[in-house]
Amino acid sequence: MVPASVRLIIGALAAILAIAASGCSPEPAPRSQSADAALAPATSPAVDPHEEAVPVAGTLTASGCITFDESGSQTWSGTAGSAIGPLGDALQTLADAHQDQVAGVAYCSDYSGVAIFVASPDAALLAAIDGIAADNGDLAVEVQEVAAPLSELLPLVTVVMGSSALEGSVTGGGPDVYTGGLRIFVDDEHWPLDEDLRERVETVVRTAHGSDLPLRYEEAGEAGDLPAPAPR
């Protein structure tokens, strides 16, 4: 049983901007157009993630302690206390060591705690998260389940960027750790995304991964502003 100090939100499938598992920071990695860019990710009602399609524009909605504006950028409010940085760092270190079960971590929008995005976590990982939560007083630790971990998402980015079927239309991509899916950057000459390109992207991902994943499409260079870093 998951200890009460950790809230496990099952069935996560909203697309959220989050922290890639490569160092704790409240903002995603820069929106690189390279094949190996690790762009950073929440939850919706309990559903099968392989049955829900993310809208073409990929607009994100509030999930747990994380909120977004109309462009899908995470919003921020309030003031960060001195303890949130160490909490985020502790969870990020854990995420780095369990990339086969974790997609990433992100500060809550109001700095009330930190969310960690997991895929089929085992009991040992949940116990480790609970231990970190227990050591951090009143700060919340939200555990949100997503479709796939970072270890599965990073190779998919390379596959998508190397696909001849998408050459000239998809200019970049990266893990969407808020959903355990992918962010797909579409060349402005192919935006708005048409059904043919959408189907080609989905086919490439499905063939490489063995199943569908949440996909969030954005016009290259026109995605929402990156969130400002949280005070440390």
DSSP 8-51: EE-S-------EESSS--SSPPP---STT--------SS--GGG
Q: Judge if 124 and 171 occupy the same domain.
A: no
| Least confident span in 89-98, 176-185, 195-204, 223-232 | 223-232
Structure tokens at 98: 């369990």
197 contacts 232 by C-beta, under 8 angstroms? no
pLDDT digits (tens, 9 = 90+) for 27-65: 433 333 333 323 233 332 222 333 333 333 345 677 789
Element (H, E) at 124: helix 123-134
The confidence band for 69, taking pLDDT boundaries of 50, 70 and 90, is: confident
Regarding whether 214 and 155 lie in a shared domain, the answer is yes
Q: Structural domain of residue 103, as residue ranges?
A: 83-145
pTM here is: 0.72
Angle at 76 between CA 185 and CA 25, to 5 degrees: 65
Domain-located, residue 141? yes
Handedness of CA 44, 83, 149, 186 (dihedral sign): positive
Tens digits of residue pLDDT in 9-29: 333 333 333 333 333 433 433
Dihedral of alpha carbons 112, 150, 228, 12, sign: negative
Q: 157 and 215, same structural domain?
A: yes
Overall number of domains in the chain: 2
CB distance 64 to 43 below 8 Å: yes
In a domain, residue 228? The reply is no
